[in-house]
């Protein structure tokens, strides 16, 4: 089997300009923050980012926005990164705001082969604009479309050398959903372990989903 453990530089080299990236994390907690820094170092541009939020200007993927490497963002919250709001108002960055639960389900749908999800969230608000409505048993739902991306960049607590992943506490958030919805999945892990060290019941993302592993600890 090919070795999934690669250097940070090598992992990010595979990402072309213009790529779409699912990036795990919630206010950069549980975010692949070394991979993000390497995207900046390699100057990847015109990126489409799908993430819960755009963090803060000096934190996690918020820095990608500050460095003007992002063309489009699909996210639920930009309130703590004034730079995202500034670039959005200036027309330099396209922002699609999605309710957080809807974002999670759209990514899940993308990863598990569903054609969309029906949610009551957003009915009667600006979120429903341009979307199909479906009535089931007297309740109106919005049809929300699946999200997939060229790459998923996720952060794990542990990875074994096959690529089985575990996450810790609230650092889990969007990571396991995104690991299913990226065509190529790069996992940044705090601890890299021999195969067999993570009990099957503890695995949160099975190794078959993960293409490359990098360490989150600088050597």
Partner 1 sequence: MDEKTLIAKRVALELKDGDLVNLGIGLPTLVARYVPAGRHVFFQSENGIVGMSGPITGAENHDLTDAGGSPISALPGAASFDSALSFGLIRGGHLDVTVLGGLQVDREGRLANWMVPGKMVPGMGGAMDLVTGARRVIVAMQHSAKGEAKIVERCALPLTSVRRVDLVVTDLAVIEPTDAGLVLKETAPGVTVEQVIANTGCELIVAPDLRSMPIEG
Give the Cα-Cα-Cα angle 100, 119, 114 (nearest 5 degrees).
Answer: 90
Tell which residue, 88, 35, 79, has the closest CA to residue 57.
79
Q: How far is the CB of 43 from partner 1 (least distance, A)?
A: 27
Going through the chain in order, the beta strands assigned E by DSSP cover 20-23, 47-50, 70-75, 94-97, 117-119, 133-136, 139-144, 149-160, 165-166, 182-193, 212-215
Interface residue with partner 1 among 118, 161, 168, 193 (CB under 8 A) is 168
The stretch among 64-72, 124-132, 158-166, 211-219 that binds partner 1 (CB under 8 A) is 124-132
Query: Interface with partner 1 includes 62 (CB under 8 A)?
Result: no
CA distance linking residue 187 with residue 173, whole number of Å: 14
Task: For the CB of residue 153, give the shortest distance to partner 1 in the complex, in Å.
Answer: 16
On whether the CB atoms of residues 153 and 186 are closer than 8 A, the answer is yes
Nearer to partner 1, 15 or 103 (CB): 103
Q: How far is CA 112 from CA 101, 117, 148, 155, 181, in A?
A: 16, 12, 10, 20, 8
- Return the residues of window 187-216 that contact partner 1 according to CB under 8 A: 204
Q: Verify binding: residue 164, partner 1, rule CB under 8 A.
A: no
* Burial of residue 41 (number of CB atoms within 10 Å: 0-12, 13-18, 19+): exposed
> Which range touches partner 1 (CB under 8 A), out of 1-9, 38-46, 62-70, 173-181?
173-181
Q: Which residue from 5, 40, 88, 203 is in contact with partner 1, where contact means CB under 8 A?
A: 88
119 binds partner 1 (CB under 8 A): yes
Burial environment of residue 128 by CB neighbours within 10 A (0 to 12, 13 to 18, 19 or more) = middle
Residue of 53, 144, 160, 188 that binds partner 1 (CB under 8 A): 53
* Cβ nearer to partner 1, comparing 42 with 128: 128
- Looking at 158, 172, 192, 209, which residue binds partner 1 (CB under 8 A)? 172
Q: Which stretch binds partner 1 (CB under 8 A): 11-19, 39-47, 80-88, 207-215?
A: 80-88
138 binds partner 1 (CB under 8 A): no
Whether the Cβ atoms of residue 28 and residue 54 lie closer than 8 Å to each other: no
User: Nearest approach, Cβ of 51 to partner 1 (angstroms)?
Assistant: 11
Q: Would you tell me which residues interact with partner 1 (CB under 8 A)?
A: 26-30, 52-53, 75-80, 85, 88, 97, 99-105, 108, 119-127, 157, 167-177, 204
């Amino acid at each position: 089997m090919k070795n999934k453990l690669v250097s940070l530089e090598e992992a990010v080299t595979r990402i072309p300009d213009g790529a779409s990236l699912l990036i795990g994390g919630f206010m950069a907690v549980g975010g692949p923050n070394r991979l993000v820094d390497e995207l900046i170092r390699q100057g990847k541009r015109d990126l489409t980012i799908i993430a819960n939020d755009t963090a803060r200007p000096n934190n996690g993927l918020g820095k990608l926005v500050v460095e003007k490497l992002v063309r489009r963002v699909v996210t639920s919250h930009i309130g703590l990164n004034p730079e995202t709001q500034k670039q959005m108002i200036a027309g330099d960055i396209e922002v699609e705001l999605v309710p957080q639960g809807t974002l999670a389900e759209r990514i899940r749908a993308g990863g598990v082969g569903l054609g969309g999800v029906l949610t009551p969230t957003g009915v009667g608000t600006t979120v429903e604009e341009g979307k199909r409505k479906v009535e089931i048993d007297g309740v109106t739902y919005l049809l929300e479309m699946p999200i997939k991306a060229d790459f998923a960049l996720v952060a794990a607590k542990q990875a074994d050398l096959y690529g089985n992943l575990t996450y810790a506490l609230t650092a889990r958030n969007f990571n396991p959903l995104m690991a299913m919805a990226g065509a190529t999945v790069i996992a940044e892990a705090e601890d890299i372990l021999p195969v067999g060290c993570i009990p099957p019941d503890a695995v949160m993302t099975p190794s078959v989903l993960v293409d490359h592993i990098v360490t989150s600890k600088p050597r």
